[in-house]
Amino acid sequence: MKLQAAFSSKLCNIIFFNLMWVGLVIGRESLLGLTVPMVLIYSAILVFIETIKIQQLLVPAALGITIDSILTVFGIFDFGDTTLLIPLWLVTLWIAFSTTLTQSLKFIGNNWLVTVTSGAVVLPFNYAVGERLGAVTFTENYFLTVFIIGIIWSVCLPLLFATTDESFKKKFAA
């Protein structure tokens, strides 16, 4: 029971996600052998102990992967040599991020204004840090790209939360 409480804690979740963010954004392909199993095992544990439902992982991850893929197709993002639209490390990062929507970042989804603002400011900041660390190249003007990312995520972050939380769906629809 203590192990279940530890895995389902918000503190464990945010620490796990931040470790994965660093490992995936800095390590990228070189750390996939470590990060992919960790994300899959952690996600499976959360599903097994009923902290999160599988669709609460897969739907937001699919939406994030789709958005990043579209930005890549339109030439806004360049991930260098990859056989996929986006690299496997970024797919893994989206799965890890999806665990936070019902856990450590759930409080953001409880307030529509905070969610929109976070999408407009926090997510572009994360992409900008990733760009500075060499994980992605912005092929267009840097500030224009960050602005575009902010616009997209100010709309789409609320959608991510809407796919994971019934109470947010009701607030979002109101």
Q: What is the band of 6 on the pLDDT scale with cuts at 50, 70, 90?
A: confident
Condensed to tens digits (0 to 9), the pLDDT of residues 69-106 reads 999 999 999 998 766 789 999 999 999 999 999 999 98
Give the pLDDT score at 168: 47
Give the pLDDT score at 28: 94
Quote the pTM value: 0.90
- Is residue 79 exposed (0-12), middle (13-18) or buried (19+ Cβ within 10 Å)? middle
SS3 at position 158: helix
CA 166 to chain centre: 19
Condensed to tens digits (0 to 9), the pLDDT of residues 133-170 reads 999 999 999 999 999 999 999 999 999 999 887 654 55
Give the pLDDT score at 173: 55
SS3 at position 137: strand
Residues constituting the chain: 174
φ/ψ of residue 122, rounded to 5: -70, -45
Token pair of 15 as six digits: 């620490």
Please state the domain count of the chain: 1
Token pair of 110 as six digits: 């409880």
Distances (CA, A) of 48 to 5, 51, 61, 62, 63: 13, 8, 19, 21, 23
